[in-house]
Amino acid sequence: INQETYNMMVLWICHKLSDYDQSDKYIIDTFTTIEELSKSINKKYTRIRDWYSIHFPELSRITDIKEYLNGILKIGNRIKYVSDIHDSEILDNDSNGDNEGKGHDDSNGSNGDDGTKLNDEIKKLALNSMGIEISDHDISKIQESSRDILMDLERKENLMKILEAKCESSFPNLFFLIGSTLLSRFLLKTGSISKFSQLPSSTIQILGAEKSFNQAIKNKKNTPKYGFIYDSFFVNSIDDKEKGRISRILSNKIALCSRVDLQRLDKEGNFGKKCKKGIEKIISSLNDRKRIKKPKLKQKKRVVTIEDYDQSKDSKKMKL
């Protein structure tokens, strides 16, 4: 073995040993588990929504996942739920009549207005529902599966907190610039922070849109301007005409921050914060240009009249 190849091998081993904590692999594994959890949650939620809509289809107006699942746990069988509300209202009316006779005043009556409105709306929907009756066994199974989905949502939130903490501690500049989700997608695509830092800004800009890039080259058409970068806040907060410019600037800053984080030169993330402020200034200046309307130039219309026409300047040849 030559001395040059030996030195290169030693340098490669030193680089591998320097990354003793292997934080990039940890981030990749946590991000893959979060994606798998989100896919399973969406599949289970769609099935339960279709299953419970047979009994109470009007409840599907609730778009939030947690609110819908908590509604299933609270309501269960809609017929029994309506009867229970009716009985509770009768008891409340009796108790209010007794309190009025005693002269009792409720100071916290305004706090329960929102809850009573929701109960009234759900009661109206349940009374006029088009759903069919389901056995209690099926409803219990639906409630069990909805509890499992709520547990999965809690696990996902905990994993997201862990991922953000790990990204902030290991790659602070990239974290403050693009966030944890976009950073983990870049690492998942490349495999490690060392490979990602070797990429130029032009490939970082297109990373994630390789298929459309190759098709554009084959068909001799315009190449895509962005890949994963499109999910960032900076690109989404500006018009379509300026997205290519901002994505090019952002990919340049990402390449610089990745090299700073690889060598661990700035552990506090000050360089990433400066890059973020610079991009925000550029976006604000572009938005201010569009707000300022250019004044329209008013052109004077010149009309030739008989008085302005001078016959003395006519050529003598034309005179008869």
pLDDT per position as a tens digit, 235-246: 988 888 888 899
pLDDT at 115 over 90: no
Average pLDDT, the chain: 82
Higher pLDDT, 220 or 290: 220
Both 229 and 122 in one domain: the answer is no
193 and 67 in one domain?
Answer: no
Q: Rounded to two decimals, what is the model's pTM?
A: 0.73
Please indicate, yes or no, whether residues 124 and 200 belong to a single structural domain of this protein: no
Q: Are residue 185 and residue 135 in the same domain, yes or no?
A: no
Is 175 in the same domain as 216?
A: yes
Domain enclosing residue 276, as ranges:
171-291
Whether residue 200 is contained in a domain is answered as yes
Whether residues 47 and 141 share a domain: the answer is: yes
- Same domain for 232 and 136, yes or no, is no
pLDDT at 313 over 80: no
255-279 burial by CB neighbour count: b if 16+ within 10 A, else e? bbbbebbbeeebeebebbebbbeeb
Question: Do the domain assignments include residue 214?
Answer: yes
**φ, ψ for residue 239 (rounded to 5)?**
-70, 165
- What does the pLDDT read at residue 4? 81
For residue 99, being part of any structural domain is answered with no
Nearest 5 degrees, angle CA 65-CA 68-CA 70?
105
Judged against a pLDDT cut of 70, whether residue 302 lies above it is answered with no
Total domains in the chain come to 2
In a domain, 279, yes or no: yes
pLDDT in tens, 129-166: 788 888 889 999 999 999 999 999 999 999 999 999 99
Q: What is the mean pLDDT of residues 46-66?
A: 89
**What CATH number has the domain bearing residue 74?**
1.10.287.4070
Grade residue 109 by pLDDT with cuts at 50, 70 and 90: very low
**Does residue 255 share a domain with residue 219?**
yes
Residues 135 and 208 in one domain: no
Residues 152 and 175 in one domain: no
